[in-house]
Amino acid sequence: MYKEERTNDTIAAVATPPGTGGVAIVRVSGPEAEAVLNRSFRRGGGASGPWESHRLSFGKILRGQEIVDEGMAVLMRAPKSYTREDVAELYCHGGTAVTRMVLEAVLLAGARPAAPGEFTRRAFENGRIDLAQAEAVMRLVGAQGEAQARAARRQLEGAVSHGIVEVRQKLTEMLSQIAACTDFPDEIDEAPAAANLIAQGRALCAQLRAACDPSRARVLETGLDVVLVGRPNVGKSSLLNALLGEERAIVTADAGTTRDAVRGTLEIAGVRVNLTDTAGIRQTGSEAERIGVQRAKEAAERADLVLAVLDASRPLEADDEEILRQARQVRCVVVLNKCDLPRAQGMPQGMAVSARTGEGTDALRALLEETARSAQSGSALLTQARHIDAAQRAAGALEEMVAAIEKGVPLDFAAVDATAALRALGEITGEDAEQSVIDAVFAHFCVGK
């Protein structure tokens, strides 16, 4: 963990956004936080003496001798605070001038202005969070939608960090196996040890590559895309509605009415599932239908899962065959709808459901759940460019290690590659990050965070 030149002066900044608001917060962190508070805040009711930690007090805010506002203040004693230092917060009226005066009050009382991201940087330097978690703070602050916010929160909770720490532990074990082989060549048989290292190297490499998989990252960010394809009138819209449990798509008995894509969203196993019902895939002369068919093909190409819907009560048509042929090229499940009606001859294998009676829709839901779960399981999932870059370099180093061992290169050379992989991963959590990398991460922060 990065710990050199730990600063321990007392810093202060406005934590709320610039402009006018109901309340503004001025934050102070460092060993002098309580002293700064005592000089800039007069508690009501004549209270004095040491502050009780984590308890809000009402009082007057003083810039020197001048009362600039009245408000609340709290002291959060180390280590139970954002930075793991003593932290004081003053809540004042949220006007631009007032807020500036309150900031001046704490600066006059002994704090110095904080640099961008300095509070979070202290949380990192004091070991409360690692570098990936510090980045998550920024992502959470900047998140535009719920999915992004959720992904950032997971990263803040340590989802990325834990995965990386786990892989680093395995790499450290591999390095000690290599060291054992090279230190005690007479006692350890190198051939099985080498085979073992190759297997472990390959497994870790696959794990890292999977963690960088953009489609898995996208599932977490925006949800699992499930597309229903099929000829007009096989019951796609009805099935979509049955899954959503509401009348989302328009259902009619005329072939080719669902010309545009109809969408609906479900949340299954904590993952957002975006269902899209496309216009029927059919060779057609109608312009609107042709566009719809084109969209269906495109949507199916991008989908995480395609449900190829057939009308099980009617014999397969050429269009059905074409749909099945196309669907086989992607991740696809064949759904035999209208199983409440007598089944036609020559149906392929598939999941029998009835959008009308609801039969089989539970099984279909279970399938979606399984897909959603498998999309988020496995190792840490990386979504930030800096992390993906480091993990790819680590995977590359492991590939070189495996290739070198396979060529029969002495094992101590393999240690060089394994160490490179270990270092690359250490950049993600900050355990092995250059000062410049750390500086770059915090450079994107705003003042007060």
Binding site for ligand GDP (CB under 6 A): 230, 232-238, 251-253, 258, 280, 337-338, 340-341, 354-356
Rounded to the nearest whole angstrom, what is the least distance from the CB of residue 340 to ligand GDP in the complex? Answer: 5
Q: Which is nearer to ligand GDP, 81 or 238 (CB)?
A: 238
Alpha helix (H) ranges present in 245-280? Answer: none
DSSP 355: T
Q: Which is nearer to ligand GDP, 111 or 336 (CB)?
A: 336
User: Among 317, 313, 282, which residue's Cα sits nearest to residue 296?
Assistant: 282
Quick check: 437 and 427 in contact, CB under 8 A? Answer: yes
Q: Which two tokens stand for residue 116?
A: 């961008």
Rounded to the nearest whole angstrom, what is the least distance from the CB of residue 76 to ligand GDP in the complex? Answer: 58
Q: Which is nearer to ligand GDP, 166 or 340 (CB)?
A: 340
How is 14-39 classified by DSSP, letter by letter? E-SPSS--SEEEEEEESTTHHHHHHH
SS3 172: helix
Residue closest to ligand GDP (Cβ): 235
Can you tell me the distance from the alpha carbon of 444 to that of 440, in angstroms, rounded to the nearest whole number? 7
Q: Which is nearer to ligand GDP, 238 or 384 (CB)?
A: 238
Give φ, ψ of 57 to 5 degrees: -120, 145
Q: Which is nearer to ligand GDP, 360 or 426 (CB)?
A: 360
Rounded to the nearest whole angstrom, what is the least distance from the CB of residue 336 to ligand GDP in the complex? Answer: 10
Rounded to the nearest whole angstrom, what is the least distance from the CB of residue 291 to ligand GDP in the complex? Answer: 16
Identify the H or E element spanning 96: helix 96-108
Q: Which is nearer to ligand GDP, 186 or 247 (CB)?
A: 247
Q: How far is CA 446 from the centre of its chain?
A: 21
Rounded to the nearest whole angstrom, what is the least distance from the CB of residue 354 to ligand GDP in the complex? Answer: 4
Q: Which two tokens stand for residue 94?
A: 């949220």
DSSP 45: G
Rounded to the nearest whole angstrom, what is the least distance from the CB of residue 338 to ligand GDP in the complex? Answer: 4
